[in-house]
Structure 1
Amino acid sequence: MAFGPASRLGVSLFDETPPVEWVPGRSDEEAESIIRAVYRQVLGNAYVMESERLTVPESQFKRGEFSVREFVRAVAKSDLYRSRFFTSCARYRAIELNFRHLLGRSPLDLEEMRVHSTILDTQGFDAEIDSYIDSDEYQNTFGESIVPYIRGYKTEACQSMVQFTHTFQLVRGAASSSLKGDLAGKSPKLNSLVIQSIPTPVISPAGDGATFRNPPVVSRTRLGVGAGEGGKVYRIEVTGYRAKSFNNISKFRRSNQVFLVPFDKLSQEYQRIHQQGGVIASITLV
């Protein structure tokens, strides 16, 4: 069961698309659809050129030598995956993307991310991939025949509200891939949020491909210009900004931002936001 209306949460594509399952003996066309679904999920919705396709594992899957799970493993261990989501990414960004791509959810907490960091240190990349695919969670959820899918916005996939909100940091806007169209790029999105176990706002998306950005400050201390001992500081959630300052993002992408503003600056900040085309989603006292 989902926490709320899928369209309001921005995950309607995932909610309305049933899991893809392979049944041996089906046609070559259906085998191709399974292969495309695996590429789409494991490679984070990224485009795969014909020259990048894994022809040998694909053939092994079509001949029945590989189950869906083993084909997922082959894609995740490939040079294609490694170059996109491991060697070019910060460590904790790579780990959080592994959770998204292979288990369809966000990490539970810092300790879970540390476990995978230790696997990378002591056993290497291949063992890190195996730790997801050989887990009881993977086997119980996807088995041998179901293509992994995004499920972290559902109650059975989340153990806390913090983890639920973090899913939307990793999966926001099905039109964008795990890296392109994402304002975080190759930098970790959840690192500080996981360390401090801080939930993030879940706001209706501004449009297809909308993304969240981590708040610029995550400290729980009172902050803001002019915030004294008795001062009040407000947290303003803003959506609707065009990401025109990012060269690698389409100007039609929209992002959410967070501002911490002292009480005496609220009116001035309100006017500035609306002059720049932003839409205030919420104002809360820090």
Structure 2
Amino acid sequence: MTFGPASRLGVALFEETDPIESIPGQRADEQEAIIRAIYRQILGNAYVMESERASVAESQFKRGELSVREFVRAIAKSDLYSSRFFETTPRYRFIELNFKHFLGRTPKDLEEMRVHSTLLDNGGYEAEIDSYLDSDEYQATFGEDFVPYLRGYKTSAGISMVSFTHTFAMQRGASSSDLKGSISGINPVLNRNVINNTPIPVVSPSAGSAGNGWSFQESNVRDAGLTRLGSGAGENGKMFRIEVTGYASPGKVNRISKFRRSNKVYYVPFNRLSDEYKRIHATGGVISSITPC
């Protein structure tokens, strides 16, 4: 059963679907379902044309010559994966996607990113791919026969709450695509948040009637586009930082944000929080986070 509000955060598919395992003697249609699941996970839910499929590796898998892990390796080292996620994207976007596709989570910290960046420099593309699939973590989590799946939204040993919030920034719903479905385009989604070990507001990926986060995008510069509605802490009370997303134009055909940025930051003293809360919702905004300064 999907837990709490996470059913609205793009992970219901993973909560409601048991891990997929390849076992000997499966029917042809069951093998085909496993192959589709592998493409969906490893290629980030991006569409795969018939001519792009790894026909040789698929045949070997169906004959039992390749395990799920080795079939994943064949897809990951293919021209298809390389052209989509390596050749046309910055290295840190490539690395954060590798973590998601192969280990089902986001990078823990800057050091993990550095290790893989160095590996790319010294060992090259194939060594980078092998580092995930040959890791103890992969073997302990998926073994030879389970299809990798998103798991970073669940609590587990060694995974911080910061990484938990990063997962929702990387996974924007079951229908999103890592190839074309991110508002960030080819730019890294986590980047400075991994470097600084800072959490990201967890907002719903679904559109709904007032946005509800589908257009949310972290500012490239911290507090860019901020608006100060109070003079500071003091007699008005402590200051609070309000981050808002999902601005829309009620009654218009085009409901895309009327602001140049898809999120906006306000600083408000405590005694004005209630009024500001009402104003934001009256103008079509959705509050993604409220934090004391």
More moved, 205-214 vs 100-109:
205-214
Q: 1:233–1:260: 8 Å Cα contact kept in structure 2? A: no
Rounded Cα–Cα distance in structure 2 between residues aligned with 1:109 and 1:168: 16
Rounded Cα–Cα distance in structure 2 between residues aligned with 1:271 and 1:135: 51
Q: Where does structure 1 lack aligned partners over 5 or more consecutive residues?
A: 244-249
User: Displacement of 1:251 after TM fit?
Assistant: 6.3
Give the 3 Å change call, closer, same or farther, for CA 2–154 of structure 1 in structure 2. Answer: farther
Query: Which amino acid is 1:280 matched to?
Result: I
User: Displacement of 1:241 after TM fit?
Assistant: 3.5
Q: Trace 1:208-247 onto structure 2 (pairs within 5 A).
A: 210=214, 212-218=216-222, 234-241=240-247
Cross-structure match for 1:279: 286
Rounded Cα–Cα distance in structure 2 between residues aligned with 1:171 and 1:265: 34
Q: 2:204–2:214: 8 Å Cα contact kept in structure 1? A: no
How many residue pairs match? The answer is 274
Q: Structure 1 vs Structure 2: percent identity of aligned residues?
A: 60
Query: Which amino acid is 1:218 matched to?
Result: R
Rounded Cα–Cα distance in structure 1 between residues aligned with 2:239 and 2:133: 45
- Residues 68-87 of structure 1 show CA distances to partners (whole Å, capped at 9, x for unaligned) of 10000010111111111111
Cross-structure match for 2:19: 19
Cross-structure match for 1:75: 75
Q: 2:280–2:286: 8 Å Cα contact kept in structure 1? A: no
- Residues 10-66 of structure 1 show CA distances to partners (whole Å, capped at 9, x for unaligned) of 311111111111112211111111110000000000000111111111111111111
- Residues 80-113 of structure 1 show CA distances to partners (whole Å, capped at 9, x for unaligned) of 1111111111110100000000000000000011
Cross-structure match for 2:96: 96
Give the 3 Å change call, closer, same or farther, for CA 54–86 of structure 1 in structure 2. Answer: same
User: Displacement of 1:274 after TM fit?
Assistant: 3.7
Rounded Cα–Cα distance in structure 2 between residues aligned with 1:52 and 1:90: 23
User: Displacement of 1:169 after TM fit?
Assistant: 1.1
Rounded Cα–Cα distance in structure 2 between residues aligned with 1:184 and 1:278: 20
- Residues 90-148 of structure 1 show CA distances to partners (whole Å, capped at 9, x for unaligned) of 11010000000000000000001100001000000000000000000001111111000
Q: TM-score, normalised by structure 1?
A: 0.84
Q: 2:242–2:268: 8 Å Cα contact kept in structure 1? A: no
Q: Trace 1:102-251 onto structure 2 (pairs within 5 A).
A: 102-156=102-156, 159-207=159-207, 210=214, 212-218=216-222, 234-241=240-247
Query: Helix, strand or coil for the counterpart of 1:156?
Result: coil
Q: TM-score, normalised by structure 2?
A: 0.82
Query: Which amino acid is 1:59 matched to?
Result: S
More moved, 68-77 vs 201-210:
201-210
Query: Helix, strand or coil for the counterpart of 1:284?
Result: strand
Q: 1:183–1:213: 8 Å Cα contact kept in structure 2? A: yes
- Residues 209-260 of structure 1 show CA distances to partners (whole Å, capped at 9, x for unaligned) of 93642234437xxx755887768754223243369xxxxxx969xx973414
Rounded Cα–Cα distance in structure 2 between residues aligned with 1:256 and 1:18: 35
Query: Helix, strand or coil for the counterpart of 2:156?
Result: helix
Q: 2:110–2:195: 8 Å Cα contact kept in structure 1? A: yes
Cross-structure match for 1:10: 10
Q: Where does structure 2 lack aligned partners over 5 or more consecutive residues?
A: 250-254
